[in-house]
Amino acid sequence: MTSPSKLTHISAASLEALPSRIAYLRQFIDFTASDAAALHAAAPVIGPLVPAVVDAVYTKLLSFDITAAAFVPRQTGFAGEAPADIRDLSHSHPQIKFRKDFLARYLAKLVALDYESPESWEYLDKVAVMHTGKAGFAHRAKKPALRVEYIHCAILLGFVEGILVDAVMGHPDLDTPTKTAVLRAVNKILWIQNDLFARHYITDAAAVAATKVVLDKSVAATAVLGLIAAGAVLARFLL
């Protein structure tokens, strides 16, 4: 049994704020400076793989109508001709090339971000927000909403990790300890990214309960005021 003196207290309310949520996630999954260093060291290895990873991701996304449908509406910032139908989509379509560029930049950032900087975690959080239909980044504030359901975001992260595992494990110039360190770090950062997606799609029971308490108090207060008002009106007739 865990000794009470060794328990770390984490309040559910604290997880609503991004900094304290990240602190908890990092502590729980043990994402340390060593993991960040492993990601940075992997940049020369992962960087050249990015185009192939991006192609594999979009081959997968365009192989299902439910995921391909998200790329039919005009994408924010894309000035060319939008596809009229899912059947118009391909790797060579200008709008798909536009989206592939965003993914390539994201993957490059994963092995370059300063993970001690709050701005880095804010960036990863905004990547999640922008898929919910809300404006994650300032340039999307007055643009058409982009909505991709959580199931597709989550499973895509797993797909990307699988590609990276194969690439790192098969790399001829990396020794086993380096491969292990890189893959552990990749696994941790993608799970944290997954939680940041979940954060904006899934409502925790604690948050629902807190909202219910506020609503219940509001309803109760309204009811009390109503009774007071009714009593005052009734008193007029009785006096």
Q: Are residues 139 and 123 in the same domain?
A: yes
Structure token digits, residue 141: 């504030």
Q: How far apart are the first and last CA of the chain?
A: 69
Q: Are residues 97 and 212 in the same domain?
A: no
The answer as to whether 59 is a domain residue is: yes
The answer as to whether 231 is a domain residue is: yes
Q: Are residues 116 and 212 in the same domain?
A: no
Compute φ and ψ for 79, nearest 5 degrees.
-100, -5
Domain residues for 209?
204-239
What's the predicted TM-score (pTM) here? 0.80
Q: Are residues 119 and 211 in the same domain?
A: no
Q: pLDDT truncated to tens, each residue of the chain (239 aa)?
A: 556 668 999 999 999 999 999 999 999 999 999 999 999 999 999 999 999 999 999 999 999 999 999 888 777 667 778 787 889 899 988 889 988 999 999 999 999 999 999 999 999 999 999 889 775 545 445 555 678 999 999 999 999 999 999 999 999 999 999 999 999 999 999 999 999 999 999 987 655 565 555 455 555 555 556 556 545 544 454 45
CATH number for position 57: 1.10.490.10
Task: Evaluate whether 29 touches 188 at the Cβ level (below 8 Å).
Answer: yes
For residue 169, what are the contacts with CB-CB under 8 A and spacing of at least 6?
179, 183
Residue 95: closest CA among 111, 79, 115, 106: 79
Our count of domains for the chain comes to 2
